[in-house]
Structure 1
Amino acid sequence: MPLDDLPRAQFAFPGPLRDRLVAAILAGVKTSTTALLLGYEREGEPLPRAGQRSAVVDSAERPVAVIELTDVRVVRLADVELRHALDEGEGDESVAQWRAGHEEFWHSPQVRAELGDPNFTVDDDTLVVTQRFRLVSLVDPASGAETPVDL
């Protein structure tokens, strides 16, 4: 599928956090991510599925890579596994550390505004969408040229 036809994969909001996450993807360090199921429901978006490819965008909304989902699961927040947390590539060394960082993000004013709930909070039973992916190609943001990644 041509790059322009791929859905966009936006990690966090534009800015320093997205820049760090995208850099980790490009370096091959980040191979998983987690999103709130509620976000998909509120937007009326279908859940992603294994085999789906998307274009990772940077803070300027330019495609910089193509990833392919290899596994998608809906789980309770309390059931996120250590391997998944480690593979998010953010330097967390435990599920508790990973969860604290994600709770900080999910409780941020930006996320609460996006969800339309200024008091939104997560708990053990909050459903999240865990996604594993592989890096397929790098994209030159200036030219749009793709370079396949050796697996």
Structure 2
Amino acid sequence: MTSESASPPANLTSVPRAEFGFPGPLRDQLVAAILDGSKTSTTALVVDYEQEGEPLPEVGSRAVVIDSDDRAVAVIEVTDVRVVPLAQVDLAHVVDEGEGDTSVAEWRAGHERFWHGEEMRAALDDPEFTVDDTTPAVLWRFRLVTDLRLAD
């Protein structure tokens, strides 16, 4: 989800933003997991990229991670991208999301709560939006390149 842009460091102004979840407790949790190294994968929906008019991530591309206060806190680099139906999300990907899920079913339930939530439905401009086993998902892996908090 894009929002009004904060001013990242001058050398990062051309680097795309990576916003995990919506601002608030979930984003705080996800950003903390990126910064401590426990989160090295994430899942998005193809429809979200289409709605935002944004291209899918590409291997080798970098993005600035934005926290709930709209601050640039890290730079990540995409290391792998797969587009698969939700039914094909595997346990390795789930575990590497760093959210504490120990099964694909547990991961799926939590993600469906997010995707079926009011904020996501509003962002997609579809109050009835739902996912199913065939929904195309973007599974991408990344590595932490720079912790920008250390540059303060």
- TM-score, normalized by length of structure 1? 0.91
Percent of matched pairs sharing the same residue: 64
Secondary structure of the structure 2 residue equivalent to 1:19? helix
Match of 1:86 among 67, 75, 95: 95
User: Once superposed, what is the RMSD of the aligned Cα atoms?
Assistant: 1.4
Secondary structure of the structure 2 residue equivalent to 1:67? strand
Query: Where in structure 2 are the equivalents of 1:101-120 lying within 5 Å?
Result: 101-120=110-129
- Cα offset, 1:140, TM superposition: 2.1
* 1:16 matched residue in structure 2: 25
- Cα offset, 1:3, TM superposition: 1.8
CA distance in structure 1 between the partners assigned to 2:40 and 2:29 by the alignment = 14
Between Structure 1 and Structure 2, how many residues are aligned? 143
CA distance in structure 2 between the partners assigned to 1:64 and 1:41 by the alignment = 26
Amino acid at match of 2:43: T
Q: Does 1:39 align with 2:48?
A: yes
Match of 1:65 among 59, 74, 89: 74
- For structure 1, list consecutive stretches of 5 or more residues without a partner in the other structure: 147-151
- Cα offset, 1:2, TM superposition: 2.1
Per-residue CA deviations over 1:110-136 (Å, capped at 9, x if unaligned) read 000111110100000000100100000
* 1:149 matched residue in structure 2: none
Match of 1:130 among 135, 139, 147: 139
- Cα offset, 1:5, TM superposition: 1.8
- For structure 2, list consecutive stretches of 5 or more residues without a partner in the other structure: 1-9
- TM-score, normalized by length of structure 2? 0.91
